[in-house]
């Protein structure tokens, strides 16, 4: 991107000098992050993106309110905790250190909550599932329903390079790689069965035939192929074939074999409560297990997985939202615990110290009930981050005391303001948080370039 520079008279006026200085500061502000971050780029960092599908109720999760002091009439917020079954109503607003969590968050997650930080008051600017999801995946607002640009995982891999067999594994989550290296594109699977299929040879071939086929594949598209390959389709197809061969050669299938009869796998089945999946290979418990294995065994550098499903509770809120959301928090807590107890590549460090985690949903749900006691789509949102490069156990941002809409937040301190001064607004000290700011924070935590997002990171969250 280029910025128009001011035309300065040979005898510069005071106004011209100020214009030049302003342009220089603007350029410096835009370019400095790249130069500064290049020296701190963490190419060994791993990333996990945990998606809660359908739009979570943040009153039950990351932005709870006390029912005693929040009413529909006065605050336009109705927590509705008294309507919940399954023992949730007795939990109310829960405390983990300085963090507040809602009744859908189980005790098992509270035990690892100190490893996490919460971002409240994110504005989504949309109430459409596809738009909100793709906005959070790419950091770019979609055109209509169409995603713009690449998934953040792909952008990360384009910067840190490929150092694992399946650089990006995406389990049940959309992925995009626009004009990025082939390894930045995700291996997309919808279940553990799909993953097993991708990693297991269909049949044994005669070694001579196998060698001949691979030699042919390695020769490239050939003259006719090059002529027809103006859009790169043939090249991408051959690269996909070669990458599939590498998956099989690496013999990775045993890493994800839940039926393996050994102590390690038995412990993982217990940790992730795989029995709750009831044989469903696409269940959150199974997908979280796959995410943990991919990160720990260096199968992947970036993993996206679906941690919770069917949160779009316009009706049956009291019966469905809390248990479905709780299931997501349980599997995410298991993943954090798994990474924390696994030694990292540096003595004294764990895999959690080398992995950055982002948990998100496409938007939240209204703080008031609709006419059928469900909650509809809401423009506000929250997110959770954990792990490498980030401060732990803090909350940044916030939502209004009345109506729970997002507030402007000071990026340096993380403090949210109901009525910031005009000077704070004009200087950019306070901003409305968006998915762009969240993703810029994830990138900045590893010293990666976030300039393409055209948003600043929440520096209050950055460690060091």
Burial 151-172 (b: 16+ CB within 10 A, else e): bbbbbbbbbbebebbbbbbbbb
* Nearest CA among 56, 77, 100 for reference residue 401: 77
C-alpha distances (whole Å) from 181 to each of 42, 78, 154 are 19, 48, 9
* Residue 5 per-residue DSSP state: P
Residue 439 belongs to some domain of the structure:
yes
d(CA 339, CA 350): 7
C-alpha distances (whole Å) from 205 to each of 133, 195, 241, 247, 265 are 42, 21, 16, 16, 31
Sign (positive/negative) of CA torsion 423, 394, 95, 54?
Answer: positive
* Nearest CA among 393, 273, 291, 295 for reference residue 342: 295
Number of domains present in the structure of the chain:
1
Q: For the residues of 254-267, what is the DSSP string, one character each?
A: GGG-TT--SHHHHH
Residues whose CB is less than 8 angstroms from the CB of residue 350 and which lie 6 or more positions away in sequence, other chains included: 339, 340, 341, 342, 343, 344
Helix or strand (DSSP H, E) at 120: strand 116-123
- Is the Cβ–Cβ distance between 185 and 300 less than 8 Å? no
Question: Which CATH number covers residue 145?
Answer: 3.40.720
- Is the Cβ–Cβ distance between 381 and 361 less than 8 Å? yes
Residue 316 belongs to some domain of the structure:
yes
Mean pLDDT by groups of 10 residues along the chain of 464 residues: 35 38 36 50 96 98 97 98 92 97 98 98 98 98 97 98 96 96 95 91 60 62 53 53 51 91 97 97 98 97 98 97 98 98 96 98 98 98 98 98 98 97 94 98 98 98 92
Pairing mode of beta strands 377-378, 395-397: unpaired
C-alpha distances (whole Å) from 114 to each of 38, 59, 118, 335, 411 are 30, 20, 11, 14, 21
- pLDDT tens for 228-269 read 555 555 555 455 545 544 544 557 889 999 999 999 999 999
Residue 114 belongs to some domain of the structure:
yes
Helix or strand (DSSP H, E) at 302: strand 302-308
pLDDT at 32 (0 to 100): 40
DSSP-based three-state secondary structure for 321: helix
The alpha carbons of the chain give a radius of gyration, in whole angstroms, of 24
d(CA 291, CA 171): 8
Burial 223-249 (b: 16+ CB within 10 A, else e): eeeeeebeeeebeeebbeeebebebee
Residue 133 belongs to some domain of the structure:
yes
d(CA 311, CA 329): 13
Residues whose CB is less than 8 angstroms from the CB of residue 29 and which lie 6 or more positions away in sequence, other chains included: none
Q: For the residues of 345-372, what is the DSSP string, one character each?
A: SSTT-BGGGGEEEEEE-S-EE-SS--TT
User: Backbone dihedral region of 428: left (phi > 0), alpha (psi from -120 to 50 degrees) or beta?
Assistant: left
Residue 209 belongs to some domain of the structure:
no
Q: How many CA atoms lie within 13 A of 314 on its CB side?
A: 2
Residue 342 belongs to some domain of the structure:
yes
d(CA 133, CA 54): 9
Q: 434: domain range?
A: 36-190+281-461
pLDDT at 198 (0 to 100): 86
Residue 420 belongs to some domain of the structure:
yes
Residue 165 belongs to some domain of the structure:
yes
């Amino acid at each position: 991107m280029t910025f128009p520079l001011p035309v300065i008279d040979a005898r510069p006026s005071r106004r011209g000098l100020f214009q030049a200085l302003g342009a220089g500061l603007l350029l410096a502000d835009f370019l400095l992050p790249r130069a500064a971050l290049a020296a701190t780029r963490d190419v060994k960092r791993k990333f996990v993106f945990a998606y809660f599908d359908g739009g979570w109720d943040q009153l039950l999760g990351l932005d709870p309110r006390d029912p005693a002091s929040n009413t529909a009439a006065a605050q336009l917020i109705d927590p509705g905790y008294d309507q919940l079954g399954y023992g949730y109503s007795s939990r109310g607003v829960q405390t983990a250190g300085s963090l507040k969590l809602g009744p859908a968050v189980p005790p098992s997650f509270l035990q690892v909550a100190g490893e996490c930080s919460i971002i409240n008051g994110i504005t989504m600017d949309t109430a459409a599932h596809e738009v909100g999801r793709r906005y959070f995946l790419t950091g770019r607002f979609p055109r209509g329903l169409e995603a713009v640009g690449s998934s953040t995982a792909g952008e990360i891999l384009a910067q840190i390079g490929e150092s694992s067999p399946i650089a990006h594994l995406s389990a049940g989550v959309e992925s995009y790689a626009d004009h990025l290296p082939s390894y930045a594109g995700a291996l997309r699977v919808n279940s553990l069965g799909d993953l097993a299929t991708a990693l297991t040879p269909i049949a044994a071939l005669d070694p001579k035939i196998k060698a001949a086929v691979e030699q042919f594949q390695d020769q490239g598209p050939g003259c006719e192929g090059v002529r027809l390959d103006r859009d790169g389709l043939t090249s991408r197809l051959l690269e996909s074939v070669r990458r599939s061969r590498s998956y099989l050669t690496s013999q990775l299938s045993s890493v994800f074999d839940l039926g393996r009869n050994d102590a390690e796998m038995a412990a993982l089945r217990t940790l992730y409560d795989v029995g709750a999946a009831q044989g469903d290979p696409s269940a959150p418990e199974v997908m979280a297990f796959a995410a943990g294995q991919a990160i720990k065994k260096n199968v992947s550098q970036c993993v996206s997985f679906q941690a919770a499903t069917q949160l779009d509770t316009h009706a049956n809120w009291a019966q469905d939202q809390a248990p479905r959301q709780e299931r997501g928090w349980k599997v995410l807590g298991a993943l954090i615990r798994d990474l924390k107890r696994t030694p990292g590549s540096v003595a004294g460090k764990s895999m959690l110290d080398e992995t950055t985690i982002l948990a998100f949903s496409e938007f939240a749900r209204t703080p008031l009930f609709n006419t059928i006691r469900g909650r509809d789509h809401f423009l506000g949102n929250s997110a959770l981050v954990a792990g490498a490069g980030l401060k732990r156990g803090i909350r940044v941002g916030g939502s209004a005391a009345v109506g729970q809409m997002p507030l402007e937040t000071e990026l340096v301190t993380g403090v949210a303001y109901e009525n910031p001064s005009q000077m704070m607004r004009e200087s950019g000290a306070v901003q409305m948080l968006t998915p762009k700011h969240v993703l810029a924070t994830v990138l900045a935590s590893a010293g990666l370039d976030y300039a393409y997002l055209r948003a600043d990171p929440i520096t209050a969250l950055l460690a060091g």
